[in-house]
């Protein structure tokens, strides 16, 4: 079956997902695109032979559209995800699911009322081969019960519009979701400590450590550095009661010369996670073809919002902030 997809938001990642759906994967066609930038959306629609909409809700209600991808700006996500649920159509929503906890809960309520999962949130690390192998090791019991997860998230630089809060809400959010997924438990409390400033970042609070206490008592320590220059570098290690599992370097080759050995570090997140994004969309299409969704859920989008809110408060006040969440509906068991 070919899933006919409508894409709302044709900016940087929207265009990358359209390329993925039209050039990389089989089993889908992009039949409609929507953006408030008329010139941009028309150019993209012409290139792929899709219809254009300036109104995303009209795209969702197009009877030709089987499933929806939301890659517009964060504050617009709630309206489109709710409209997709109302239309009974599977929807892939880039993170954030919505920009407030209350909006995430409205989405959860609508999906629970619908009675079946339709929403997948764009936490692509869950589709990365190395992280999946790490999770397999944890679940196999090989390293015993996890005690500490150290996650490293380093960006070479960020644009001037990047704020200190974004280090938690936009950057650490991926590590937060990964921790919840790898350890299979919720976050109990968050603290944030800033190191001596990297002066390349101007007034930015950078780097920071986001310290999370998990329900079981395990600790998660996330380093976020966003001006570290040398590369985009992702690291992860879980220490368990009887062993350790570590994400390996991603070099396909190493070069030995002049008494040294060297390997390449990825330049940016697109290069590091390109295969994960492909798998993410392949699995989304497989589920959408059956009229449902799997993978990171609206619950995971809500949990991310609650924990990042706590992180922003912890960074602002210097306090340890307890994480309070609603009970998890059975739909997300
Ligand atoms: N998973 C990831 O690692 C990852 C990476 C990058 C971006 N994102 C997320 O993807 C989303 C888009 O990010 P981006 O970098 O592509 O931004 P962008 O600014 O490049 O593109 C967003 C597009 O949405 C359009 N838009 C805004 N409001 C709209 C509306 N109401 N209806 C239709 N279109 C509208 C804009 O005109 C723009 O073309 C954000 O939520 C961002 O957090 C996720």
How do residues 248-289 score in pLDDT, each as one tens digit? Answer: 998 889 999 999 999 999 999 999 999 999 999 999 999 999
Average pLDDT score over the chain = 97
Pick the CATH number of 3-123+275-297 from 3.10.450.30, 2.40.160.210, 1.10.10.10, 3.40.50.720: 3.40.50.720
Tell me, yes or no, if the two domains 3-123+275-297 and 126-267+304-332 fold the same way: no
Atom of ligand 1 nearest to the CA of 16: 16
What would the pLDDT profile of 208-218 be if each residue is shown by its tens digit? 999 999 999 99
* 35 pocket-lining for ligand 1 (C-beta < 6 Å): yes
Distance 92 CA to ligand 1 centre (A): 13
Supply the residue whose CA is at minimum distance from atom 6 of ligand 1. 13
CA pair distance 214, 180, nearest whole angstrom: 8
CA pair distance 93, 71, nearest whole angstrom: 7
pLDDT at 51 over 90: yes
Q: Please name the residue that has the structure tokens 């966003």.
A: 226
Name 45's Cβ contacts closer than 8 Å, sequence gap at least 6.
33, 51, 52
Contact 132, 107 (CB under 8 A): no
Q: What is the mean pLDDT of residues 5-34?
A: 98
Peptide bond before residue 210 is cis, with ω within 30 degrees of 0: no
Place 326 in a pLDDT band, splitting at 50, 70 and 90.
Answer: very high
pLDDT at 289: 98
Atom of ligand 1 nearest to the CA of 170: 43
Q: What is the mean pLDDT of residues 295-309?
A: 98
Contact 31, 6 (CB under 8 A): yes
User: Which pair of tokens denotes residue 198?
Assistant: 């990297």
Write a three-state SS string for 204-270.
CCCCEEEEEEECCCCEEEEEEECCCCCCCEEEEEEEECCCEEECCCCCCCCEEECCEEECCCCCCHH
pLDDT at 1 over 90: no
Q: What is the mean pLDDT of residues 34-38?
A: 97
CATH class of domain segment(s) 126-267+304-332: alpha beta
DSSP-based three-state secondary structure for 311: helix
Partners of 220 in beta bridges: 149, 212
CA pair distance 215, 236, nearest whole angstrom: 20
pLDDT at 252: 84
* 78 pocket-lining for ligand 1 (C-beta < 6 Å): no
5-9, 151-155, 201-205: least confident range: 201-205
* Closest to 169 in 3D by CA, of 105, 224, 109, 103: 224
The secondary structure of 116-153 as a DSSP string is S--EEE--GGGG-HHHHHHHHHHHHTTT-SEEEEEEEE
Contact 213, 179 (CB under 8 A): no
**What are the domain boundaries of the chain?**
3-123+275-297, 126-267+304-332
Distance 75 CA to ligand 1 centre (A): 10
CA pair distance 19, 71, nearest whole angstrom: 13
Rg of the chain in Å (alpha carbons): 20
According to DSSP H, which parts of 24-88 are helical? 38-48, 56-60, 77-86
Neighbours of 21 (CB within 10 A): 22
What would the pLDDT profile of 132-191 be if each residue is shown by its tens digit? 999 999 999 999 999 999 999 999 999 999 999 999 999 999 999 999 999 999 999 999
Atom of ligand 1 nearest to the CA of 15: 16
pLDDT at 45: 98
What would the pLDDT profile of 105-128 be if each residue is shown by its tens digit? 999 999 999 999 999 999 999 999
* 128 pocket-lining for ligand 1 (C-beta < 6 Å): no
* Closest to 92 in 3D by CA, of 72, 70, 61, 74: 70
* Closest to 158 in 3D by CA, of 194, 123, 200, 197: 200
Supply the residue whose CA is at minimum distance from atom 41 of ligand 1. 74
């Amino acid at each position: 079956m070919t899933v006919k997809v409508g894409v709302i938001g044709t900016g940087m990642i929207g265009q990358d997902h359209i390329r993925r759906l039209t050039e990389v994967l089989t089993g889908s066609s992009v039949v409609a695109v929507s953006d408030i930038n008329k010139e941009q959306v028309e150019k993209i629609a012409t290139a792929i032979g899709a219809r254009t909409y300036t109104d995303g809700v009209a795209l969702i209600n197009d009877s030709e559209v089987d499933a929806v991808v939301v890659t517009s700006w964060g504050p617009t996500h709630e309206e489109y995800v709710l409209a997709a649920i109302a239309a009974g159509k599977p929807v892939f929503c880039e993170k954030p699911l919505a920009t407030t906890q209350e909006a995430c809960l409205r989405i959860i309520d609508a999906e629970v009322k619908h009675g079946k999962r339709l929403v997948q949130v764009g936490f692509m690390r869950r589709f990365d081969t190395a992280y999946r192998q790490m999770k397999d090791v944890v679940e196999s019991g090989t390293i015993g019960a996890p005690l500490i997860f150290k996650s490293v998230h380093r960006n070479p630089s960020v644009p001037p519009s990047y704020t200190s809060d974004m280090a938690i809400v936009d950057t650490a959010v991926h590590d937060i979701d990964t921790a919840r997924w790898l350890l299979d438990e919720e976050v109990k409390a968050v603290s944030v400590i800033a190191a001596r400033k990297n002066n390349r970042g101007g007034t930015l609070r950078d780097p920071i450590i986001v310290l999370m206490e998990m329900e079981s008592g395990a600790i998660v320590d996330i380093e976020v550095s966003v001006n570290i220059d040398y590369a985009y570098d992702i690291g992860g290690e879980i220490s368990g009661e009887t062993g350790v599992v570590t994400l390996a370097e991603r070099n396909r080759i190493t070069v030995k010369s002049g008494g040294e050995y060297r390997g390449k570090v990825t330049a940016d997140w697109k290069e590091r996670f390109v295969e994960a994004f492909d798998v993410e969309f392949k699995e989304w299409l497989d589920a959408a073809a059956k009229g449902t969704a799997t993978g990171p859920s609206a619950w995971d989008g809500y949990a991310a919002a609650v924990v990042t809110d706590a992180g922003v408060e912890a960074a602002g006040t210097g306090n340890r902030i307890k994480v309070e969440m609603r009970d998890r509906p059975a739909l997300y068991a």
